Structure 1
């Protein structure tokens, strides 16, 4: 593994691998189909990135989320590794240019969604590339028993006909049933399976019942003023909780999917640099975040399933030091959460209404719409048709997972520009500002008519072509505007919808509705499982999580809320044991310990409690006696 270690040191500046990263990498290098189940923070990406870097050619990475793809591409670029992602919303020409870059540009990683691979022309282009490894990230999405099933994943196995290279499937959360499904559906042969324990020995899971969550947050952060994450359900709560924490004197910032790219980066930086210790966020936050010293992760509402909870809670204590995962709730909160969850699950009838409304809203004719892109505001749409927001959002997410449309729920900065100076003046500007040359050249080569009229440019594409970030592009454009070199119009959209198929009304919904009932039932079962986790006051929380994922574990952690409560109850029971003994006769501490068989801790607790409450006293013979 010397060469692998050299790559690790060169690009990641680590001196050694975590267990079992080295064994997984060796398996891939030996050409095996490999399944890796590594809990959150286990370093999954390195397991396919390093073998891909050690082999000639390009690694094809299949990932379900645009944000996750962007995050990994950005991380690779920061390590001087060439990578790009085929995200939705770019034209045929732009996509073709990016694929050309894969052939001639020395790129090592190409990220695509499974839905993109269903486009024949894209698959044909990818088949011409020198693929050295196929990595399936978030592989639980392939299983209908997984918590985020996506039908497009089922067709990934077809790639085995075209690429005779190793395949690696990676996930952080999968039950035994899902693990078996993944390997079967991907048609893995001679599979090497690697699993890391779900036990996090330094992480204490605590369910805390409280009706005043803000006061409880104040107590928590006063006691542990270290980097923390507070997960909330929606964007509004992000702003409100962050504001309240700042008013209480804590430094907090916030993160949700609706923020502009620039705001996300700024807020993330505040937290990473610990200028703000608390990040209040929706579940849009966390992918690819590597901050080892997070002390506390707090959930203010019950998550939808144990998989999400485990993944989010697991962002605490990655440095191996003691950390806390706290879930704040109360009886009414649980009842309300269950009602909201069940109410938000759409049936076939409501899905049909939403699909028809979307097509009418964007004036798409029957049989048309493929590839069309629209800006979209969920709140305005729901107001127009009098739809409940959460239920409508569930429908749109379902249509996204089924590949009918792509829903990009992130704000994107878009730019329209026109150069106001002649080309020779641009050459002069570049000679004085050589750092800006790659970006300006990329714009000029991609948009030749940019001198004649305002032209919409794709800032993500330009960032890929100039090997920089979208934020850097925006900053440069604003600088050029200030110097009257360009006319610039920036605008942001709440979200974006791309229709992937022609409008076929009832036929479309009838075709996919069979998955809806199964998905709803699975969601209910998983939600009931997280409620059982919350309500169970007898079993160690770590044991409950391990057993849920099929890992046999009967050893209590000793640090979760259940274990600590049982410990406290045992200590309280010790007082009655000591009282009963002393009612018979006075005893020394040694005699009490011998007769009671209590631990030192339990004995000391009992004696201190009884002394403080004036129930016993120490007589002149140095023996404890009932008053």
Structure 2
């Protein structure tokens, strides 16, 4: 263990390990199979990176996340530790060269996806390499009950037969008891040492806040807590909208989503990390590998799809140990919206089969052929041609990807971003002088509100279809408008790519994987219901609810969540509050917010009393949304 501490200090500048880290590392160094359950920010990667440096040979790391692999390799290289990753898009000759480097170049870490292990020739090469440790990151993907199941993870068990004397370490930040048992069995871990760090975060208060006007509530929260924050939103459009709205309210904001060019991602990330723009508005694409200690608040505007994702994202607050908040702003329509976003877009077997057949026809692949064929791919064009709903189709393609039927690159960014630089009246003047350009420009203006204020992703295939023209003509016009300084355009040339990993067998292919689809859909529905139950529960500590979900049943109430705080607040009796509100309205007409600011109780209490006053016809609402006394 002394050598491990020396390596920790030399390469990571730490003098000691965190709780549980040292126990896990000791277990691995003794050659034992090990399972580590550590919440987000607990330092999972060091649990295999330090032993990997102690052992001779190199550590084989299996991870499903390309971005995380690249991030960890870059971090290791910055510490003068030799590491490589076999990510997608690397040609066979280059892969062979990289594997040779592992054998003869003193490399310490080889990262690869589980799908790579399904390629026999890669597995054969790995068998001949000096592997000293196998690490399985995001191990919940092994289990069909995990929130991100990938069947290719099941192949990892085969490594056990090739490396029977080498320790295996499985790590995850989110696994329920059922998933933990599944991971150990499916990976073939032999009498593993099981270590888990409590999911409890004593400094983090989980709050559910009910609000119809979420922007108003955001303004209140950020005014009260101006320190570094993350605001998670549903999609890219919301990212831009909330960034602009909060900037208009005087907050220094930036944003992050999967469709941004790499340079803009890095620029925006740096603005946030250096606190030049302390408010980050982001989709769920943001956060992987982020370890900013001084995040005061993580706010969710919409319901996440499961408690695993929520716990990971919320857990990015308060990593410095100081008081922090995880706030979910909830409105009555959120549950319907979440079901539309996550549940109603789940493909059934019939739809999956249709998408697969059309995909093969789209690329003119004959029955029994197509393996290793590679094509550029536009999701929007494909969906337009076959009148498929985009989200449901994307979920189908993603499922086929995870089943190893196809390989789908994840860059679904639009081809072009556009912002109009001139005022609307000047654009109308241009249209009057150039009537041939009017259909395309008008369609863009109608379809993309906010395009005068910020760069908006444009779906050129959609615009072309609406105007009865070609995508090329849309792009040519945008190029022309850019040259005239009417618009600012950023053309993106990173089309998605599809590689067919199996020969086309139509129904045989789909029938083989249909059981996995049904199981996955069942799990996602269960997880969504658990998320809804967590939000609607008003009789239990929020921290306890989360801990129980992850198998910790003997916890105490946290004292800092919205439920625990509400128990401490002395409620004003309804009759007293009714009298106070009526007195205020005698003086002048008021909105709910004005009443709340004067009576000093929660908006929920005020709405409860006002609702009764409306029912008894004691007050009414005028055209300015103000309450007034009925005379």
Question: How high is the TM-score relative to the length of structure 1?
Answer: 0.77
Aligned to 2:211: 210
Kindly state the Cα deviation for residue 575 of structure 1 after the two structures are TM-superposed. 12
Q: Could you say which residue in structure 2 is the equivalent of 1:140?
A: 140
The runs of 5 or more residues in structure 1 that have no matched partner are: 413-489, 577-604, 606-627
- Whole-angstrom CA distance in 1 between matches of 2:53 and 2:243: 41
Inter-partner Cα distance in structure 1 for 2:310 and 2:9: 32
Separation (CA, whole Å) in 2 of partners of 1:502 and 1:491: 32
Displacement of 1:15 after TM fit? 1.6
2:407 — aligned with what? Answer: 406
- Relative to structure 1, the CA distance from residue 575 to residue 211 in structure 2 (aligned partners, 3 Å threshold; closer, same or farther) is closer
Report deviation, 1:366. 2.5
Q: How many residues align?
A: 500
The SS at the match of 2:319 is coil
The 5 A counterparts of 1:539-558 are 539-558=540-559
Q: Compared with structure 1, are the counterparts of its residues 379 and 235 closer, same or farther at alpha carbon in structure 2 (3 Å cutoff)?
A: farther
Contact 1:411 1:492 in 2 (8 A): no
**Which residue is equivalent to 1:527?**
528
How much does 1:572 deviate?
4.9
TM-superposition CA deviations, 1:356-383 (whole Å, max 9, x none): 2222223333233322333333223222
Query: Which position in structure 2 is the counterpart of 1:69?
Result: 69
- 8 Å CA contact retained: 1:374, 1:498: yes
Query: After the TM superposition, which of the residue ranges 377-386 and 171-180 deviates more from structure 2?
Result: 377-386
Q: Which moved more, 1:196-205 or 1:232-241?
A: 232-241
* 1:120-174, Cα deviation, whole Å (9 max, x unpaired): 0000111111001000000011111111111111121110111120000000000
Report the counterpart of residue 179 of structure 2 in structure 1. 178
Give me the whole-angstrom Cα distance separating, in 1, the residues matched to 2:495 and 2:563.
42
Q: What's 1:279 paired with?
A: 280
How big is the shift at 1:207? 0.9
Query: For structure 2, which runs of at least 5 residues remain unmatched after alignment?
Result: 414-490, 577-600, 602-631
Quick check: 1:291–1:318 contact (8 Å CA) kept in 2? yes
How far apart are residue 201 of structure 1 and its match?
0.5
- The answer to whether the 8 Å contact 1:259/1:411 transfers is no
Question: After the TM superposition, which of the residue ranges 548-557 and 202-211 deviates more from structure 2?
Answer: 548-557
Give 2:261's aligned residue.
260
Structure 1 equivalent of residue 81 of structure 2: 81
Instruction: Tell me the residue number matched to 2:488.
Output: none
Q: Which residue of 2 aligns with 1:129?
A: 129
What corresponds to 2:107 in structure 1? 107
- Please give the alpha-carbon distance, in whole angstroms, between the structure 1 residues aligned to 2:499 and 2:252: 38
Question: Which deviations, in whole Å up to 9, do the C-alpha atoms of 1:327-346 show, x marking residues without a partner?
Answer: 11211222232244331111
User: Which residue number in structure 1 is paired with residue 44 of structure 2?
Assistant: 44
Alpha-carbon contact 2:379-2:412 (below 8 Å) kept: no
Q: For residues 568 and 381 of structure 2, what CA distance do their matches in structure 1 show?
A: 53
State the Cα deviation string for residues 159-203 of structure 1 (Å, max 9, x = none): 011112000000000011111111111111121110000100011
1:246 aligns with 2:239: no
Per mean C-alpha deviation after superposition, the further-off stretch among 14-23 and 336-345 is 336-345
Match of 2:289 in 1: 288
Contact 1:317/1:323 (8 A) holds in 2:
yes
Question: 1:373 matched to which residue of 2?
Answer: 374
8 Å Cα contact 2:151-2:402 kept in structure 1: yes
Distance of aligned partners of 1:541 and 1:500 in 2 relative to their CA distance in 1, 3 Å threshold: same
Change (3 A) 1:494 1:267: farther
Counterpart for residue 10 of structure 1: 10
SS in structure 2 of the partner of residue 331 of structure 1: coil
Distance 2:73 2:551 in 1: 33
CA distance in 2, matches of 1:494, 1:265: 20
Superposition pairs for residues 446-485 of structure 1, below 5 Å?
Answer: none
Distance in 2 separating the partners of 1:287 and 1:355: 31
Superposed displacement of residue 69, structure 1: 1.1
Conserved 8 A contact 2:343-2:524: no
What is the match of residue 444 of structure 1? none
* Partner in structure 1 of residue 496 of structure 2: 495
4+ runs deviating over 4 angstroms: 571-576
Alignment of 1:54 with 2:54, yes or no, is yes
8 Å contact 1:38–1:170 — kept in the other structure? yes
Partner of 2:466: none
- Determine if contact 1:34/1:167 at 8 Å carries over to the other structure: yes
Counterpart of 1:487?
none
Distance 1:555-1:521 versus aligned 2 partners, 3 A rule:
same
Contact kept in structure 2, 1:376 and 1:494, CA below 8 Å: yes
Aligned residue in 1 for 2:301? 300
Q: Is the 8 A contact 1:258 1:495 kept in 2?
A: no
Residue 588 of structure 1 corresponds to none
**Alignment partners' CA distance in 2, 1:546 and 1:262:** 39
Q: Is the 8 A contact 2:304 2:338 kept in 1?
A: no
Q: Could you tell me which residue of structure 1 aligns to residue 564 of structure 2?
A: 563
Between 1:180-189 and 1:198-207, the stretch displaced more is: 180-189
Q: CA deviation at 1:65?
A: 1.5
Q: Secondary structure at the match of 2:395?
A: helix
Aligned to 2:160: 160
Q: Deviations over 1:91-134 (max 9, x none)?
A: 21121122122122221111111111010000011111100100
* Aligned position for 1:482: none
Give SS of 2:114's match.
coil
Separation in structure 2 between the aligned mates of residue 245 and residue 373 of structure 1, nearest angstrom: 43
Q: Using the TM superposition, give the Cα deviation of residue 384 of structure 1 relative to its aligned residue in structure 2, in angstroms.
A: 2.2
Match of 1:468 in 2: none
